[in-house]
Amino acid sequence: MSLTPRILAVNIFALALLAGGFFYLDSYRSRLVDERSAQAAREIELMAKATAIAGPASRDALILAFAQESDGRLRLYDRDGVRIADSWQLGPPNYELRDPASEAWQRHVARFLDRVIDRIVWADRLGRFVEPSTDNAAAWPEIVAARAERRTVTRVRYAPDRTPMLSAAITLSGDRGALLLTENTRDITRIVRAERFRLGLVIAAVSLVSILFSLFLARTIVRPLRRLARAAVRVRLGRARDVEVPRLPERRDEIGMLARALADMSHALNVRIDAIEAFAADVTHELKNPLASLRSAVESLQSVKDPTLQAQLLDIVRDDVLRLDRLITDVAEASRLDAQLSRAAFEPVDLGPMIEHLLRSREQRGTDGDVHIAFARPRKGTAVVPGDASKLVRVVENLLDNAVSFSPPGGLVRIDATRDDAAILLTVEDEGPGVPPDMRDAIFRRFHSDRPESDGFGRHSGLGLAIAKTIVEGHSGTITVHDRPDSRRGARFVVTLPVAEH
């Protein structure tokens, strides 16, 4: 589901909460009706007392004055239920029961809205007010209830035009008759409809603003996300070279951060694809040389009968096999390094004991021949870095292999691990020919090999320094090569690694 309808749904839900104001209007109308009913009950109770005090001569004038003051119709019935006085017969009517059929269409719409809103808010359903065909006390349920319960009874019903009709009935003392007051409280309907109209205007205005705001959010959020999604899909389909992921430099929010992260990721993916293709081409090239030599030697063995030549050819075969084995091993390790480093759980590694253990192992294997290695072990805990110990061992071993291979017979290789502010410097110095300045980047490329003639054939794949660089960079470090600081002949490799946090 798109974000656009979701944004609209959230804002419409907020509007629905605002529309809950109609429930308040219903309770507001109920309070007005209840207050007016209580007022009618008090008025008719006062009239009942006044009627009991006044004599028959002043009774009609009192009823007419009271009816005109209360804007209602007051009727008096004797103990037999016969109407004996009516304010509408004593004076002009003070309210009119309007026929809905004679009203304008706006009134029909207003009544329709009244019914709809009453159903929505579950308002109490009121009966219809109808003047009885025979006007006597028995025709009015409120008078019957007042006589039975001996108290003032009020009722609320709807007039034909759906305005509230209030009625209040009370029996006179000594059961000498009953009084009935009826009022058409049209003003309550007028007040409620006015409040509803104002609330409707507010909801309409807020709805318009909400919709415009939702569309604005959809434009500023959904559209750039769709652009990024389409670019990501094209990258997934293998068209990364042809896809330019929008960076959205004008956006300084999270979407802009996402766009730039995806663009950087796409660029890194392109770089990785290029590196994989170059690596595959280099592997193919490197494998072809020993395979061609091996094939030539094997084919020559079939036709050569001289034992001396056969022995030479077998030596070539053995050297090529060793070279292929070393090459395949290093290629496999180089291809797995990135994935292994991304999953590795780094732990504090003290380089001092690690290097010391490595040197003892090399000495036992006789790896270094007649080349001497000097190591000034740092104090415990002063050269601690975060990393994978097995991978860092491989870095040191590759650097030592490189230094030993270039060192002259009886040469000295120095290795140090020192702390420099927030970094650990691991240095390896040899007494070889050194590295020319124009070659100091090339030696870290895969399959670069510029070995001395005295070095054994097939012992190196040209991946040692490339593997070391990959591991160091995977540990957020750098590796560089320089001339020796004492101006003596040789190369100095410097590995910079961050210090482990305590």
Tell me the domain boundaries of the chain: 3-197, 244-343, 345-502
Q: What's the distance, CA 250 to chain centroid?
A: 21
Q: What's the distance, CA 350 to chain centroid?
A: 41
166 has pLDDT over 70? yes
Q: What is the mean pLDDT of the chain?
A: 81
State mean pLDDT over 103-123.
77
312 has pLDDT over 50? yes
Q: Write b or e for each residue in 480-497: b if 16 or more Cβ atoms lie within 10 A of its Cβ, otherwise e.
A: ebeebeeeeebbbbebbb
Residue 428 CA to residue 493 CA, distance in Å, equals 5
Looking at beta carbons, which pairs linking 14-21 to residues 24 or more positions away fall under 8 Å? 14/210, 15/203, 15/206, 15/207, 15/210, 18/202, 18/203, 18/206, 19/203, 21/199, 21/203
DSSP assignment letter at 102: G
The domain 244-343 is placed in CATH, from the list 1.10.630.10, 3.40.50.1100, 1.10.287.130, 1.10.10.60, at 1.10.287.130
pLDDT of 319 reads 75
Selected residue with higher pLDDT from 14 and 173: 173
Place of tokens 């009885």: 132
CATH superfamily, region 3-197? PAS domain (3.30.450.20)
Given a contact cutoff of 8 angstroms between Cβ atoms, the answer to whether 413 and 397 are in contact is: no
76 has pLDDT over 70? yes
pLDDT of 179 reads 93
**Percent of the chain's residues with pLDDT above 90:** 19
CATH number of the structural domain 345-502? 3.30.565.10
**Axis crossing angle, helix 21-53 with helix 186-217, rounded to the nearest 10:** 170
Given a contact cutoff of 8 angstroms between Cβ atoms, the answer to whether 427 and 493 are in contact is: yes
User: Rounded to the nearest 5°, which phi and psi values hold at 425?
Assistant: -105, 120
476 has pLDDT over 70? yes
pLDDT of 83 reads 93
Selected residue with higher pLDDT from 493 and 439: 493
Residue 2 — very low, low, confident or very high, per pLDDT cuts 50/70/90? low
Place of tokens 């040469």: 411
Residue 163 CA to residue 322 CA, distance in Å, equals 106
Residue 275 CA to residue 272 CA, distance in Å, equals 5
State mean pLDDT over 355-372.
86
Residue 144 CA to residue 161 CA, distance in Å, equals 26
The pLDDT tens digits for 402-415 are: 888 888 888 999 99
Instruction: Transcribe 367-416 into DSSP letters.
Output: TTTT-EEEEEPPPTTSSEEEE-HHHHHHHHHHHHHHHHHHSPTT-EEEEE
pLDDT of 219 reads 75
Residue 307 CA to residue 298 CA, distance in Å, equals 14
458 has pLDDT over 50? no
Nearest to 173 by CA among 79, 80, 81, 82: 79
| Structure-derived torsion over alpha carbons of residues 96, 102, 103, 105, reported in degrees to the nearest 10 | 160
pLDDT of 302 reads 76
State mean pLDDT over 288-303.
76
pLDDT of 229 reads 78
The pLDDT tens digits for 335-351 are: 666 666 667 778 899 99
451 has pLDDT over 60? no
User: Rounded to the nearest 5°, which phi and psi values hold at 158?
Assistant: -95, 135
How many CB atoms are closer than 10 A to CB 246? 16
State mean pLDDT over 86-104.
87
Nearest to 183 by CA among 157, 165, 203, 160: 165
Task: Please give the structure tokens belonging to residue 51.
Answer: 């009627």
Element holding 347 (H helix, E strand): strand 347-350
434 has pLDDT over 60? yes
153 has pLDDT over 90? yes
Residue 457 — very low, low, confident or very high, per pLDDT cuts 50/70/90? very low
State mean pLDDT over 460-483.
83
The reply to whether 345-502 shares the fold of 244-343 is no
State mean pLDDT over 86-108.
86
pLDDT of 456 reads 46
